[in-house]
Amino acid sequence: MGQEREFGEYDEEDHRGTVVAQDGEYDRIRTRGRERFKYLAQHKDPKVQWWTSVGPEQNWGTQETIWPLNRATQSATTTPRVDLLSQPKKNFQTGVHVNRPIWQYSCGRTSALSVVDPNAMQGSASERVQQLAMPKAYPQHVPNRYEFMYSCGRVSPIWDVSASTLAAPSEPRPRTVDLSGHKRPHALFQPERSVPWEVSTLAKTHRPSGRTQDLSTPKLRAEGPFREPQWPISENALNAVASPRCTELARAKSLADGFQHAREIQWPVSKAARRATASGRLSDLATPIQRVNMNILQFNPDAFQVKPLALKAQLSSRVAELAMPINR
């Protein structure tokens, strides 16, 4: 790993200054900081491509405008508001803030120690300030508590044993002895079994049966993870006759009574349908309704007027029954 690059130590291709080695922390910050400022003050190299170059060529850091100014703009006079905004900012680096020592000898943060005004040093505190400056007193009901005298006020987990406890007899009570004992396990509790266990002598001398030996014999298979595409079928399987139950189960499921297959997408039209003539009712229903355009339609106040025959009509028993409200 190479040494980290300080301020001013740049590649030879940049040609943006060299480091002047001087003794002292202040000289190092001053010289290398200036070289850093010079490096940052250089204008940014334009990255203009031929497909993005629109308008006149403009260099970074110049006073030239992007578009040419007309004579009226160049000869115009500023307003009082613009003159006021163009005034430089007031210099506050006076007195103890000259050259900003917090930036020369520190990281830029102000110090907690500030210069006290002589008038403030000669002033006297008010009664309210003196009252607030008094330390917090102990509670009246428990004065001089240890947690407030020697600590921050939190109770310690270690406490003193009372005198009555110390003066108690050395032999505990039967109830205390009973409570101090551990919980007894259940009557049917069995401890965990050890991982290795001993095999009994009978199991060691036992001989397996013929069936067990047949099941333990591995199946003979041909070499390779495959089997023959055709294998012989036994004569018993070839001569076997299916039972009536197997024949019934092998029968395909029949269609339901009245089942009709899906209708074809295209079907021929009958001659009767082609020679048929529409009735008068169908012709009337097929005639489209001629509606008046809404732009030329005028408002009719009698559109919702009830006809005289409807006013004289009598309700049927069913309509009267449906018109009755539901009793809830």
Taking only the tens place, the pLDDT of each residue in 5-36 is 444 444 444 444 444 444 566 676 666 777 88
In whole angstroms, give the CA distance from residue 195 to residue 50: 80
Does residue 296 belong to any structural domain of this protein? no
- CB-based contacts of 7, cutoff 8 Å, min separation 6: 19, 32, 33, 35, 36
Contacts of 56 (CB under 8 A, 6+ apart): 66, 67
**Residue-range definition of the domain harbouring residue 19:** 9-40
Which residues, 6+ apart, have CB-to-CB distance to 244 below 8 Å?
none
* Residue at 134 is within a domain: no
Question: What pLDDT is attached to residue 168?
Answer: 78
Check residue 86 and give its pLDDT: 92
On whether residue 58 sits in a domain, the answer given is no
- Decide if 45 contacts 74 (C-beta within 8 A): no
What gap in Å lies between CA 115 and CA 124, rounded to an integer? 18
Does the residue 320 lie in any domain? no
> What three-state secondary structure class fits 132?
helix
Q: What is the pLDDT of residue 154?
A: 62
Within a domain: 23: yes
Q: What is the CA radius of gyration of the chain?
A: 55
* Residue at 18 is within a domain: yes
Q: Is the pLDDT of residue 302 over 50?
A: yes
Q: State percent of the chain over pLDDT 70.
A: 69
User: pLDDT by residue (tens digit) across 216-268?
Assistant: 998 877 676 677 778 889 999 999 999 999 999 999 999 999 999 888 888 89
Specify the DSSP class assigned to residue 95: G
* Within-domain flag for 311: no
Tokens in use for 240? 């076997």
Contact 35, 19 (CB under 8 A): yes
Torsion 304-305-307-313 (CA) sign: positive
User: CA 97, 100, 102 angle in degrees (round to 5)?
Assistant: 110
Query: How many Cβ atoms sit within 10 Å of the Cβ of residue 8?
Result: 19
**99/164 Cα distance (integer angstroms):** 73
Nearest to 148 by CA among 139, 160, 159: 139
Specify the 3-state DSSP secondary structure of 82.
helix
For residue 321, the 8-state DSSP code is H
Q: Tell me how far apart the alpha carbons of residues 259 and 252 are, in angstroms, rounded to a whole number.
A: 16
Global pTM value: 0.17
Q: How many domains does the chain have?
A: 1
Query: Would residue 111 count as lying in a domain?
Result: no
